[in-house]
């Protein structure tokens, strides 16, 4: 006589005690870039970075997914993908997007600064300038490895400006790490179709002492009006940050 299978009542435990996440795959420099979806937030940039230290569950194939902070260029690629349906209404209109670390110095802006032995971004201007020796100079700005770069203040305008003026400027090309004479993705993001009132670049005033700040984007003045491109201290709360899947660090189910 076959025993009857009893139904299971009560709580059925999840297969993982990790937080569950979706993934978003976007094009980036001729390849694919995988980021967490949705972006981390809303928190300060430092708070969002702390949240990235956790591991996440995606699927049986990707059971433990780890992330790292996106560089400014990677953040731009993630933001540009399906911008009008994803990034603009869900991040830039209600809040702001933290692109990544930059150092505001006396002669210009350094993006994605290298880290010191303690794992902190280097802020010493003389030390950062020394890294420029290994960079290539492209259309007035410097571009190096790991999205490190430098844009002198004279290569970009500050204040309210048209999208093309911004996209052709050194700051946009630095953030996008573009070898071209224009930052195409930031040009698409800041286009008049998205922001009829243009772009407002602020928070990049010359300083006698270098400051570690976060580059960010938001929709200024409300929906569909203008794009803010600004720099602020990392403890400013309420923003989102993209994060990139660490390659080779997501554990997969064994066959």
CA dihedral 130, 98, 227, 200 (to 10 degrees): -40
pLDDT on residue 204: 94
Q: Per-residue pLDDT averaged across 202-217, rounded?
A: 94
pLDDT on residue 3: 58
pLDDT on residue 137: 97
Cα–Cα distance measured from residue 101 to residue 99, given in angstroms and rounded to the nearest whole number: 7
Report the range of poorest mean pLDDT among 98-112, 128-142, 239-253. Answer: 239-253
- If one compares 6 and 30, the residue with the highest pLDDT of the two is 30
pLDDT on residue 209: 93
CB 82 within 8 A of CB 57: no
pLDDT in tens, 221-255: 655 579 999 998 766 678 999 999 997 544 333 32
| DSSP-assigned beta bridge partners for residue 100 | 215
pTM: 0.89
Q: 236: burial class by Cβ within 10 Å (0-12, 13-18, 19+)?
A: middle
CB 115 within 8 A of CB 105: no
Cα–Cα distance measured from residue 107 to residue 122, given in angstroms and rounded to the nearest whole number: 16
Output phi, psi for 33, to 5 deg. Answer: -125, 125
198 three-state secondary structure: coil
Cα–Cα distance measured from residue 98 to residue 215, given in angstroms and rounded to the nearest whole number: 6
């Amino acid at each position: 006589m076959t025993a009857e299978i009893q139904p299971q009542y009560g709580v059925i435990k999840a297969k993982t005690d990790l937080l569950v996440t979706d993934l978003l795959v976007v094009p980036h420099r001729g390849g694919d870039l995988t980021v967490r979806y949705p972006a981390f937030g809303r928190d300060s940039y430092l708070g969002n970075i702390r949240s990235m230290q956790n591991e996440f569950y995606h699927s049986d194939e990707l059971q433990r997914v780890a992330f790292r902070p996106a560089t400014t260029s990677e953040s731009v690629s993630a933001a540009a993908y399906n911008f009008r349906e994803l990034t603009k209404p869900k991040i830039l209109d209600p809040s702001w997007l933290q692109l990544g670390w930059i150092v505001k110095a006396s002669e210009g802006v350094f993006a994605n600064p290298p880290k010191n032995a303690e794992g902190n971004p280097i802020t010493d201007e003389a030390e950062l300038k020394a890294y420029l020796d290994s960079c290539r100079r492209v259309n007035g700005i410097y571009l190096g490895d790991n999205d490190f770069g430098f844009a002198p203040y004279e290569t970009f305008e500050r204040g309210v400006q048209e999208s093309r003026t911004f996209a052709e400027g050194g700051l946009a090309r630095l953030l996008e790490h573009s070898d071209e004479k224009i930052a195409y993705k930031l040009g698409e993001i800041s286009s008049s179709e998205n922001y009829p009132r243009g772009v407002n670049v602020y928070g990049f005033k010359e300083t006698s002492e270098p400051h570690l700040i976060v580059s960010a984007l938001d929709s200024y003045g409300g929906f569909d009006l203008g794009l803010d491109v600004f720099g602020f201290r990392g403890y400013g709360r309420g923003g989102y940050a993209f994060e990139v899947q660490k390659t080779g660090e997501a554990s997969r189910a064994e066959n």
